[in-house]
Structure 1
Amino acid sequence: MFVSLLYKKRSFFGLLEVYNMSDKPVLAEPKNMFEEFLKTMIEIDASDLHLVHNNPVTFRVHKKIVKTQKFIRGNDIFKLLIESKAIDDYQINNFHELKSANFAVTFSGVRFRGNLSQARGEYTLVIRRLSDKAIPLHKIGLPEQVVETIKRDTGLILVTGPTGSGKTTTLTSLIDYVNKNMSVHIATAEDPIEFVHRSSENSIITQREVGSDTPSFSAALKDVLRRDPDVILIGEMRELETIENGIIASSTGHIVFCTLHTNTCADSIDRLVSVFPVMQQQNIRSQLSSNIRMIINQRLIPKIGGGVVPAYEVLFPNKEIRKAIKEDRIEDIEELMEKYKGDGNILLKDAVQQLKDQGLVDTNTVY
Structure 2
Amino acid sequence: MHTSNLSSAVVPDRLLAWLNQAIELGASDLHLVSGYPPVLRLHGELIELPEHPLFGDEIQELLSPLCPDDAFARLFHQKNVDFSFDLAGAEHLTRFRVNAFHAGGQLGACLRLVPWAIPDFSWAGFPPELAGRLTSLRDGLVIVTGPTGSGKSTTLAMLVQALNAQGGYRIITVEEPIEYHFPRVPGSVVTQREVGVDVLTFADGLKFGLRQDPNVILVGEIRDRDTAQMALSAAETGHLVFTTLHTRDAKGAITRYADLFPQDVQRDIRSQLALSLRA
**TM-score after normalising by structure 2:** 0.88
Match of 1:134 in 2: 118
1:111 to 66, 90, 95: 95
CA offset digits 1:257-310 (Å, max 9, x no partner)? 11111111010111110011011111111111111111xxxxxxxxxxxxxxxx
Are 1:83 and 2:65 matched, yes or no? Answer: yes
Distance 1:88 1:179 in 2: 35
Distance 1:112 1:236 in 2: 19
State whether residues 10 and 65 of structure 2, in contact with CA within 8 Å, keep that contact through their aligned partners in structure 1.
no
Shift of residue 35 of structure 1?
A: 4.1
Q: Which moved more, 1:185-194 or 1:114-123?
A: 114-123
State whether residues 28 and 41 of structure 2, in contact with CA within 8 Å, keep that contact through their aligned partners in structure 1.
yes
Shift of residue 98 of structure 1?
A: 4.5
State whether residues 81 and 87 of structure 1, in contact with CA within 8 Å, keep that contact through their aligned partners in structure 2.
no
1:207 to 176, 189, 192: 192
Are 1:234 and 2:219 matched, yes or no? Answer: yes
Shift of residue 139 of structure 1?
A: 4.0
Distance 1:43 1:149 in 2: 34
Q: Unpaired runs of 5+ in structure 2?
A: 1-6
Q: Unpaired runs of 5+ in structure 1?
A: 1-27, 295-367
Secondary structure at the aligned position of 1:110 is classed as strand
Secondary structure at the aligned position of 1:229 is classed as coil
State whether residues 170 and 190 of structure 2, in contact with CA within 8 Å, keep that contact through their aligned partners in structure 1.
yes
Distance 2:172 2:57 in 1: 38
2:139 to 154, 159, 176: 154
Distance 2:10 2:222 in 1: 36
1:225 to 198, 206, 210: 210
Shift of residue 141 of structure 1?
A: 2.9
Distance 2:218 2:17 in 1: 33
Identity value in percent: 36
* Structure with more relative contact order (C-alpha pairs < 8 Å, separation 6 or more): 2
Q: Number of residues paired by the alignment? A: 265
**TM-score after normalising by structure 1:** 0.68
Bigger Rg over Cα: 1
1:177 to 162, 165, 176: 162
Distance 2:122 2:187 in 1: 19
- Deviating above 6 A after TM superposition, structure 1's stretches of 4 or more consecutive aligned residues are none
State whether residues 233 and 257 of structure 1, in contact with CA within 8 Å, keep that contact through their aligned partners in structure 2.
yes
The one-letter amino acid paired with 1:107 is: L
1:53 to 25, 34, 38: 34
The 5 Å alignment of 1:332-343 reads none
1:282 to 256, 267, 277: 267
